[in-house]
Structure 1
Amino acid sequence: MRAEPGAERRHKGCPETGRRLLEGVSLPAAVVREAPLAHNLAWMQRFAQRRGAWLAPHGKTSMAPALFHRQLAAGAWGITLATAPQCRAAFAAGVTRLLLANQLVGEANMAIVADLLEAGAELICLVDSEANAVALDRHFTARGLRLTVLIELGVPGGRCGCRGEDQALTLAERIAALPGLSLVGLEGYEGLAGDDGERRVADYLDEMVGVAQALSAAGRFESPTPLITAAGSAWYDRVATAFQALERPFQPVLRPGCYVVHDHGLYAEAQRGVLAREGLDEGLRPALEVFAQVQSLPEPGLAIVAMGRRDVGGDRLPLPLRRYREGGAATEPLTVAGWEVTRLMDQHAFVRLPEPVAGEDEVRVGDVRVGDVVAFGISHPCLTFDRWQRVLRVDEALEVQEVMETRF
């Protein structure tokens, strides 16, 4: 059962829409700022279109149907998901083209996908073994359905996927004999290759291109323009460049997910690499923040903020960005220079304050007050979104424009 971060979750009927974040909204709260969100949607769509690629953003990042529909409205071809239940949730929210970037294993999960196909979904999934292909064929043939699949190409020591061209060709030959399956392309994920550096990413993508062309030359794809898809949120530029080298007609599909809100950590670093490689001056902008209040000033140099692991992902500690007085104006931020989050507990963040000076009373140290509202930047959006059932979209005045529900 998922933990419930803060009172914001318990008051599900509270009409936050139209309220200012600095007053009348229970904190902590996960917040998406509209201006950078709109920028990111347009930026990534333009990037994909310039490279002749379709965009199928990975929905597992947010699992927020409101964001799915913003991505589709911006021009996305479809939405990528990681599990059959995620596909079901997206389809229930009106998303009809689904790319399940995973193997579909287990009768219960196959039944979910079969139900979606019967309800009108357009769904593609991955396969990397004869055993899985045979099981899929048996299930979908029995339901009178034909499942569209991509062969996955993996990396040595990585997770799923065929290892090399020979395995992929052998699997494609087997799929051709299975009436319940239709092979329409090749899939990969370059992120695991990236653990060994940029050179390994390039080598893996070259291998993908070679395998795709070998499968096409062998006549294994049913589509005249088969799909070739990869691209997480760190190396999508390298993927787009590699796929442009294909000699035969393929349709590239890019699948970054975190771009929609970006971050102040892991993907901010990755973006600097993209900008340098592409010769660009401006890229994505961080849109996702967690707002929380100073709860206690128990000793000099220490603030306790009412935000913890149940509210924000923990692969890196959150970054203090801005501070406001409760009830104050968004145009009057206060400094957080020198602030550092040193530790997270379930519902508390330990913040080291610079050069503490005793204040006028026991709830004030320097200019920091109990009740001050602090905006924190996060790293790796997936690990913050999944802590919230609702995320607040705000304008530049920090007025809540929309309450976006998630479907984890």
Structure 2
Amino acid sequence: MSKTLNQAPVLKGAASPGDSLVRDVSLPALVIHRDALEHNIRWMQDFVTRSGAVLAPHGKTSMTPALFRRQLEQGAWGLTLASAVQTCTAYAGGVRRVLMANQLVGRANMALIARLLTDPGFEFHCMVDHPDNVAALGAFFAERGQRLNVMIEYGVVGGRCGCRSEQEVMALAEAIKAQPALALTGIEGYEGVIHGEHAVSGIRAFAASLVRLALQLQRDGAFALDKPIITASGSAWYDLIAEGFEAEAASGRFLSVLRPGSYVVHDHGIYKEAQCCVLDRRSDLQEGLRPALEVWAHVQSLPEPGFAVIALGKRDVAYDAGLPIPLKRYREGVLPAVGDDVSGCKVTAVMDQHAFMTVAPGTELHIGDIISFGTSHPCLTFDKWRTGCLVDEQSNVVESLAIEF
């Protein structure tokens, strides 16, 4: 009679320090290159500091506490997050200042934040953009004898959340003032929804209007802080927001907070393109960010000439902003792990667990070969994993990173 084996589940891509990606790690695996990661964290922190602002990187990109700690140790003011649950995860990982760039809606979510606010060392700010939400938050936190920091979100027509006019912003400030359990601590916007031929001028105008609104609210005595927060900036236009805040002299009157997130690992797609634009606009910047994130997978089938099927699919890698990008080919088990360029190959489609790849002429592949793939939009690659491999320049694992979506 066979004996049942009781063992803990094996996490996809799990690895231990000292493991080699080409010899010891079950693939596919999420791979982060240490040198590029450390460069990116230093680079963005330095950029923001020189811009007269502080950095609250968006943690939703990675939801990786080990990366949060590195960002804070390098000088980040706090972390940006998108939900109450993410905030709880960050708190458990040691984060004690959170800017939740979203509305806090629903009593169960409010209760999560109320529990964290019993820690006097925890600082939290969330967004509001409607009187109904203001009333609900005011009543909930008043019942508990707590005071919640809120910031008015200012948006653009056709965009995402946020008040759509300056009049709405002023009216909402009055609604907040009527709630003793709420403290207005700043104003927030998100410029990433501004697109089109005139995006640059539109983003500059948006930053200027954000500062004008902040100044008006300050003159009206609406803020609960002597130096209120003013914040914007995703991962594509952070330089324009920094310049806009500097041009309006926001740093003297406000705490200017920039909150890009994807920079931490960068990418080989949309943010690589955006970074090229940043460097074109800013001749004072030298080297930019470096792609640090890859997904490694095996060649599993070669059913036709010029066609390979890779053991990689929608469950493993982002595909919303471009398909995976073949980078290098490694031979399984061959050390040192030296990759050959396969950038002439191209992924044409992904299914749940398979990627279809055309093979460039002259590229020789074998079953079991390992291909490293670049990605576009790292946020939607991270959320497919529970663990990632931080590797050195020899592709050896130096740390296993817990990912906590």
- TM-score category of the 2 structures, normalised to the smaller one: over 0.9
Aligned to 1:251: 255
- Determine whether 1:294 maps to 2:296: no
Distance verdict in 2 for CA 1:404–1:354, change over 3 Å: same
**Matches of 1:22 and 1:16, distance apart in 2:** 13
**Matches of 2:29 and 2:171, distance apart in 1:** 51
- The alpha carbon displacement at 1:406 in A equals 1.1
The CA RMSD measured in Å over matched residues stands at 1.6
Distance verdict in 2 for CA 1:12–1:351, change over 3 Å: closer
1:272-331 CA deviation, whole Å, 9 max, x = no partner?
A: 111111112310000000000111111100011100110000121111111110012355
- Determine whether 1:24 maps to 2:28: no
- The alpha carbon displacement at 1:10 in A equals 3.1
Gaps of 5+ in 2: 1-7
Aligned to 2:154: 153
State how 1:50-129 maps to structure 2 within 5 Å.
50-120=50-120, 121-129=122-130
> Partner of 2:126: helix, strand, or coil?
strand
The answer on whether the counterparts of 2:327 and 2:372 sit within 8 Å (CA) in structure 1 is: yes
Letter in 1 for 2:265: V
1:383-405 CA deviation, whole Å, 9 max, x = no partner?
A: 10000000110000111011111
The one of 340, 346, 350 equivalent to 1:340 is 346
Aligned to 2:214: 212
Distance verdict in 2 for CA 1:246–1:203, change over 3 Å: closer
**Matches of 1:368 and 1:21, distance apart in 2:** 18
**Matches of 1:270 and 1:61, distance apart in 2:** 17
> Partner of 2:281: helix, strand, or coil?
helix
- The alpha carbon displacement at 1:355 in A equals 2.7
**Matches of 1:160 and 1:134, distance apart in 2:** 18
> Partner of 1:295: helix, strand, or coil?
strand
Distance verdict in 2 for CA 1:131–1:281, change over 3 Å: same
The answer on whether the counterparts of 2:330 and 2:337 sit within 8 Å (CA) in structure 1 is: no
**Matches of 1:398 and 1:92, distance apart in 2:** 30
1:57-114 CA deviation, whole Å, 9 max, x = no partner?
A: 0000000001000100111010110000000111011111111110111111110110
The one of 318, 324, 336 equivalent to 1:318 is 324
State how 1:3-402 maps to structure 2 within 5 Å.
10-11=10-11, 16-120=16-120, 121-194=122-195, 197-247=199-249, 249-279=253-283, 280-315=285-320, 316-330=322-336, 332-355=338-361, 367-402=364-399
The answer on whether the counterparts of 2:14 and 2:400 sit within 8 Å (CA) in structure 1 is: no
Letter in 1 for 2:279: L
1:317-363 CA deviation, whole Å, 9 max, x = no partner?
A: 1111111100123552223142011110111111101236xxxxxxx
> Partner of 2:253: helix, strand, or coil?
coil
The answer on whether the counterparts of 1:330 and 1:396 sit within 8 Å (CA) in structure 2 is: no
42-51 or 242-251, which deviates more: 242-251
**Matches of 1:14 and 1:180, distance apart in 2:** 45
Distance verdict in 2 for CA 1:96–1:166, change over 3 Å: same
> Partner of 2:340: helix, strand, or coil?
coil
- The alpha carbon displacement at 1:367 in A equals 2.5
Distance verdict in 2 for CA 1:368–1:254, change over 3 Å: same
**Matches of 2:214 and 2:24, distance apart in 1:** 55
TM-score (ref. length: structure 1): 0.93
> Partner of 1:10: helix, strand, or coil?
coil
**Matches of 1:368 and 1:174, distance apart in 2:** 65
Letter in 1 for 2:199: G
Aligned to 2:5: none
**Matches of 2:192 and 2:355, distance apart in 1:** 31
The answer on whether the counterparts of 1:289 and 1:375 sit within 8 Å (CA) in structure 2 is: yes
1:128-162 CA deviation, whole Å, 9 max, x = no partner?
A: 11111111010001111000111110101112111
Letter in 1 for 2:173: A
1:151-186 CA deviation, whole Å, 9 max, x = no partner?
A: 110101112111121111111122112100011111
**Matches of 1:9 and 1:355, distance apart in 2:** 41
The answer on whether the counterparts of 2:208 and 2:248 sit within 8 Å (CA) in structure 1 is: no
The answer on whether the counterparts of 2:329 and 2:372 sit within 8 Å (CA) in structure 1 is: yes
**Matches of 1:318 and 1:385, distance apart in 2:** 14
Among all aligned residue pairs of Structure 1 and Structure 2, give the percentage whose two residues are the same amino acid: 52
**Matches of 1:156 and 1:378, distance apart in 2:** 31
Gaps of 5+ in 1: 1-7, 357-365
> Partner of 1:289: helix, strand, or coil?
strand
Distance verdict in 2 for CA 1:278–1:61, change over 3 Å: same
**Matches of 2:221 and 2:359, distance apart in 1:** 65
**Matches of 1:266 and 1:339, distance apart in 2:** 19
**Matches of 1:251 and 1:77, distance apart in 2:** 11
**Matches of 2:323 and 2:14, distance apart in 1:** 30
